[in-house]
Chains A and B, each alone.
Chain A
C-alpha cells in the first residue's frame, strides 16, 4: 500500500529524515514510536505532501504510484488522510460544511453521532475546541473522507480516558478492524507517545524512529514494553534489523 525507499527529507536547511525505509501493507495498521523531534511528524507530513517538507532523495509510493512529487490534494483524492495534531481554526467554516467538503456523500449525521459531536455541527472548525474536541473533530473529518490510508498524529495526547475510547473506536472503523484480517483493505500509521490509545485499537506492527531513521520494527506490544523498560536509549543501542 505505502512504501518508503531510502527517503531523505529536509525542512528549510535542516535534514530531518535520513534514509527511511518502511512498508505498510494493505489492511495493516502500524504504530510509530520515537522521542520528541525524531522526525515522526515529518514522516506523516511528507506522506501527506505538505510543501515545506522537501524530499531530497528516495521515493514514496502509494498504491503502486510514485507520489513523491504529487500535490497534496491529489494525494488526498488518491486516498491519503491525516489527522493533524494541532490543526488551525478555519474562521467562518462550520464543522458540518467541513464534512461536506471532505465528502459530499458522507452521512454527516451518523458520523457526528458516532463521535458524540452532534452539538458541534454548527461550530466553526476548531474554534475554541478543547484538546479532546480537536481530536474528535479530526476523526469526524477522516470518517467523512474515508481514506484508504489514514495517518494519526498523537490522537491520544491531551485527551481524557472517555475521549480515548471514542477515538480508538473511530480508528478501528477507519482501519476496518471490524472485518477479518484478510478482508481488510485499509491501512494506517499512528504516532503515539504513551501508547494509551493502543489499549482501544488494534495495531499490526510498530516502528521506532530515532534521529530521522527507523531503528527497530516489530510487534507493537513487545516494542512498547521495551521502550517502557529501557527507554529510547535502549532502542538506539539495540541492533535488531529494520
Chain B
C-alpha cells in the first residue's frame, strides 16, 4: 500500500475511539515537536535524562549490542555495536530500504483507532532494528523513548525484524524527567520473528503521574521462532492502555508474555493476546499485578485456531490497600478440537501465613509485606540474557516498591 493510501486510511480513523481504555483528548496535546540535535555518545546526555533512562531500566553505560535514544520526535543517538545488526531511525530506514514497505503498518492496522491514526498521519519517528540471518546478540539493545517537553504528544513507530536464525534482545525504556507535566505517548511497535529466530522485547514504562500512554504492538512469529514480550510498569501513570497481539503463524512458534504492574494511582488497562494459528504452537501469558490504590484491568487472551496447540494464561493480582481495583480477565477462545488451553486467575491479599513466617524471623509487618510483594513481582522470565535479567531484577527491587503504605 502506498504511503498516500495509508495516510488516507489514517485520516478516516482520526476520530475512532479505541476499543479499550479511557478516551483521550489528543488535540489537547501539542502536535508540533521541538527539534533536538544529535549527540555522539549517550554519556553526553544531561544528567536528569540519564537518571530517567536508568529508572526505566536502561543503563547507558555497560555493554550493549546497540543503542537508540529518542527525545520527543528526534532520534538523538543510534548505534549498532554488533555486525549484522542494523539500528536506524525509522524515517531514514524507510528511505533506504524499499522492502520495509512490506513491514510498515502490516501488523498494526493504521486505522485501528485514533491513536494509530495520529501516529500514521505524522512524519514517522522511532527505531528500525534488524538482525541479519543467523546474527546472535548476547547483550541487549538498549533503546529509550524520552519525553522531554511539557504537554507534548510523542508519536513513535518501531519496526523490528529478526531474520531467519537470528537472536535479538531489546529493552525499551519509556520515560520522562521527574519534573515532567502532562503528556501523551503513542507508540506503535511491529516485531517480525522469522524462522527459528528468537526475540525478547522488554518495555519498561516509567512515566510521570500526568502522562497518558497508548502503546499499540503486534508481532508475527514464523516456524520454530519465539518471542518473549515483557511489560513492566512500576511507577504511577495517569492512564495506560495496551493490548499487544502475538501471531503465531509457523509450526512450533512460541510466544511468552510477562506483565508486571504496580499501581499506586491511575488507571491501567493492560493485557495481551496470542493467536495460535499453526500446529505445535504454544503460548504463555503471565501477569503479576499489584494495586495499592490504582485500578488495573488485566487481560490475557488466547485464541486457538488449529489443533495441537497449547496455551496458558495466568492473571494473578494482589490488592494491598483498602481501596484499589484489580479486574482480571483471562479469556480462552478455542476454534477446533484437539487443542489445549488453560488459565489460572486470582485476586487477593497477601497470605497471612507468609507474613507470619517472615515475622517469626524478625521482620516487621511492613518489611515482610515488601519482601512478599517483591517476590511476587519477581517473575522468572525465560530466555533472557543475564545482563537483561539483571536490569529487570534491579527495577523490581527498587526501594519504592513496597506494600501497604
Q: Which residue of B lies closest to A80 (CB)?
A: B360
- Quick check: A90 and B360 within 8 Å, CB to CB? no
Q: How far is the CB of B241 from chain A (nearest CB, A)?
A: 27
Q: Could you give, for residues 121-142 of chain B, a 1 whenever the CB lies within 8 Å of some chain A CB and a 0 otherwise?
A: 0000000000000000000000
- Quick check: B357 and A84 within 8 Å, CB to CB? yes
List B369-394 residues whose CB lies under 8 Å from chain A.
371-372, 374-378
Residue B359, interface by CB 8 Å: yes
- Quick check: A92 and B378 within 8 Å, CB to CB? yes
User: Complex: how many Å from CA A77 to CA B378?
Assistant: 28
Chain A positions within 8 Å of B378 at CB level: 91-92
- Quick check: B353 and A145 within 8 Å, CB to CB? no
Given A50-B356, A88-B351, A101-B371; A76-B361 close (CB under 8 Å): yes
User: Complex: how many Å from CA A163 to CA B4?
Assistant: 75
Chain B positions within 8 Å of A71 at CB level: 359
Residue B345, interface by CB 8 Å: no
Q: How far is the CB of B129 from chain A (nearest CB, A)?
A: 31
User: Complex: how many Å from CA A72 to CA B364?
Assistant: 8
Going nearest first, the 6 A-B pairs with the smallest beta carbon separation are A92-B375, A92-B378, A76-B362, A72-B359, A73-B359, A93-B375
List residues of chain A with CB under 8 Å of any chain B CB: 48, 50-51, 71-73, 76-77, 81-82, 84, 87-88, 90-93, 98, 101-102, 124, 141, 145
User: Complex: how many Å from CA A91 to CA B361?
Assistant: 16
Contact pick for A92, options B353, B368, B374, CB 8 Å: B374
User: Complex: how many Å from CA A93 to CA B371?
Assistant: 8
Residue B358, interface by CB 8 Å: yes
- Quick check: A102 and B361 within 8 Å, CB to CB? yes
List residues of chain B with CB under 8 Å of any chain A CB: 351, 353-354, 356-365, 368, 371-372, 374-378
Q: Which residue of A lies closest to B354 (CB)?
A: A88
User: Complex: how many Å from CA A145 to CA B353?
Assistant: 19
Given A73-B363, A73-B364, A101-B363; A90-B358 close (CB under 8 Å): yes
- Quick check: A90 and B359 within 8 Å, CB to CB? no
User: Complex: how many Å from CA A115 to CA B107?
Assistant: 55
Chain B positions within 8 Å of A91 at CB level: 372, 375-376, 378
Chain A positions within 8 Å of B356 at CB level: 50-51, 72
Q: How far is the CB of A207 from chain B (nearest CB, A)?
A: 22
Cross-chain pairs A/B with CB under 8 angstroms, 19 sampled: A50-B356, A51-B356, A72-B356, A72-B359, A73-B359, A73-B365, A88-B353, A88-B357, A90-B354, A90-B358, A90-B375, A91-B372, A91-B376, A91-B378, A92-B376, A92-B378, A101-B371, A102-B361, A145-B362
Q: How far is the CB of B232 from chain A (nearest CB, A)?
A: 15
User: Complex: how many Å from CA A51 to CA B365?
Assistant: 12
User: Complex: how many Å from CA A55 to CA B371?
Assistant: 29
Q: Which residue of B lies closest to A98 (CB)?
A: B361
Chain A positions within 8 Å of B361 at CB level: 76, 81, 98, 101-102, 141, 145
Q: How far is the CB of A106 from chain B (nearest CB, A)?
A: 11
- Quick check: A101 and B358 within 8 Å, CB to CB? yes
Q: How far is the CB of B350 from chain A (nearest CB, A)?
A: 11
Interface centre among B351, B360, B363, B371 (most CB of A within 10 A): B360
Other A-B contacts than A72-B360, A84-B360, A93-B371, 16 sampled, CB-CB below 8 A, are A48-B360, A50-B356, A72-B356, A72-B359, A73-B359, A73-B360, A73-B362, A73-B365, A73-B368, A76-B359, A88-B353, A90-B375, A91-B375, A91-B376, A101-B362, A101-B371
User: Complex: how many Å from CA A93 to CA B363?
Assistant: 14
User: Complex: how many Å from CA A141 to CA B360?
Assistant: 11
Given A73-B364, A76-B362, A102-B362; A87-B374 close (CB under 8 Å): no
Q: How far is the CB of B290 from chain A (nearest CB, A)?
A: 12
Q: How far is the CB of B404 from chain A (nearest CB, A)?
A: 15
Q: How far is the CB of A163 from chain B (nearest CB, A)?
A: 21
Q: Which residue of B lies closest to A79 (CB)?
A: B362
User: Complex: how many Å from CA A145 to CA B359?
Assistant: 12
Q: How far is the CB of A78 from chain B (nearest CB, A)?
A: 9
- Quick check: B371 and A90 within 8 Å, CB to CB? yes
Q: How far is the CB of A71 from chain B (nearest CB, A)?
A: 8
User: Complex: how many Å from CA A5 to CA B358?
Assistant: 28
Q: How far is the CB of A215 from chain B (nearest CB, A)?
A: 28
User: Complex: how many Å from CA A193 to CA B354?
Assistant: 26
Chain B positions within 8 Å of A88 at CB level: 351, 353-354, 357
Interface centre among A72, A82, A101 (most CB of B within 10 A): A72
Q: How far is the CB of A16 from chain B (nearest CB, A)?
A: 17
- Quick check: A92 and B377 within 8 Å, CB to CB? yes
User: Complex: how many Å from CA A98 to CA B375?
Assistant: 11
Q: How far is the CB of A206 from chain B (nearest CB, A)?
A: 24
Q: How far is the CB of B31 from chain A (nearest CB, A)?
A: 43
User: Complex: how many Å from CA A93 to CA B359?
Assistant: 15
Interface centre among A73, A77, A101 (most CB of B within 10 A): A73
User: Complex: how many Å from CA A145 to CA B368?
Assistant: 16
Chain B positions within 8 Å of A98 at CB level: 361
User: Complex: how many Å from CA A76 to CA B360?
Assistant: 6
Q: Which residue of A lies closest to B364 (CB)?
A: A73
Chain B positions within 8 Å of A81 at CB level: 360-361
Q: Which residue of B lies closest to A151 (CB)?
A: B360
Chain A positions within 8 Å of B372 at CB level: 90-91, 93
Q: How far is the CB of A105 from chain B (nearest CB, A)?
A: 13
Q: Which residue of A lies closest to B361 (CB)?
A: A102
- Quick check: A87 and B357 within 8 Å, CB to CB? yes
Q: Which residue of A lies closest to B378 (CB)?
A: A92
Chain B positions within 8 Å of A84 at CB level: 357, 360
User: Complex: how many Å from CA A145 to CA B362?
Assistant: 9
User: Complex: how many Å from CA A98 to CA B359?
Assistant: 12
